[in-house]
Amino acid sequence: MSSLDNESQNHTAIVAMKEIANFVIKASEIIDTKEVDNFVSLLIDTYNNKAKVLVMGAGRSGLVGKAFAMRLLHMGFSSYVLGETIVPSISKGDLAIAISGSGRTQLIVDAADAAKKVGSKVVALTTFPDSPLGSIADVIVKIPGRSKISKMDDYFARQILGLHEPFAPLGTLFEDTTMIFLDGVVYHLMSRLNISEDQMRNRHANVEF
């Protein structure tokens, strides 16, 4: 390996990339597939019933949610993002997907609670199933990671996942893991619903900046 290669591999940004990628791989090995299947089943029911999907998250989690909502739209879902200017009312039979590492982000907890009260199903993607958000949700998918305000205190989880906080400040691990998890869900939905990339491309925006 050349000195240039050594320098590249030892660069702090590259080391951080590897740490985060390794964390995501380890997280993929412990995410409960039963929880994933429950999540996917709700999405498929929503699709088949032509119901709406409302994705919600604050800050960087909100950006992850927007990316997922976009892919749902490409697949033919009626998907929306909380906080956007064009969001219809949701009701019984619709689906709300709430993303919060801590499960305590008040805006998201309140929004999920409001969705639940009108009869929508609620999915929580969170590191803490016993959080206020988890108590509201019909389905929880536990996504390993460190939230902005809470560290993972479970010693076993920290050892198995190799949690290295200096490389991933605040909610980075949760957000990155959730992003890649949801991309995996997109592929799974494409397979289950027999949706091709060409079909998705036809729904992609053709008027862009």
pLDDT of residue 150: 46
Q: In the predicted model, is pLDDT for residue 39 greater than 80?
A: yes
Tens of pLDDT along 185-196?
999 999 999 999
Q: Domain range for residue 69?
A: 33-143+172-194
Q: Which of 19, 35, 175, 208 is catalytic?
A: 175
- Asked if residue 5 belongs to a domain, the reply is no
- Say which amino acid occupies 134: G
Please check whether residue 18 lies inside any domain of the structure.
Answer: no
**Over pLDDT 70: what percentage of the chain?**
81
In a domain? residue 151: no
Q: Give a yes or no: residue 1 inside a domain.
A: no
What is the CATH classification number for the domain harbouring 129?
3.40.50.10490
- Would residue 25 count as lying in a domain? no
Q: Is 50 part of a structural domain of the chain?
A: yes
Is 35 catalytic? The answer is: no
Q: How many residues does the chain have?
A: 209
Per-residue pLDDT at 169 = 53
Q: Are 161 and 144 in contact (CB under 8 A)?
A: yes
Give the per-residue pLDDT at 149.
42
| Residue 27 belongs to a domain | no
- CA 98 – CA 138 distance, rounded (Å): 11
Q: How does pLDDT run across 143-182, given as a tens digit for each residue?
A: 998 644 444 444 344 444 455 455 555 458 899 999 999 9
The count of domains in the chain is 1
Answer whether residue 76 is part of any domain. yes
Specify the range with the lowest mean pLDDT, choosing from 21-30, 98-107, 145-154: 145-154
Please tell me the least confidently modeled range out of 1-15, 85-99, 111-125.
1-15
Cβ-contact 81, 65 below 8 angstroms: yes
CA atoms within 13 A on the CB side of 88: 9
Secondary structure (DSSP) of 173-205: HHHHHHHHHHHHHHHHHHHHTT--HHHHHHHS-
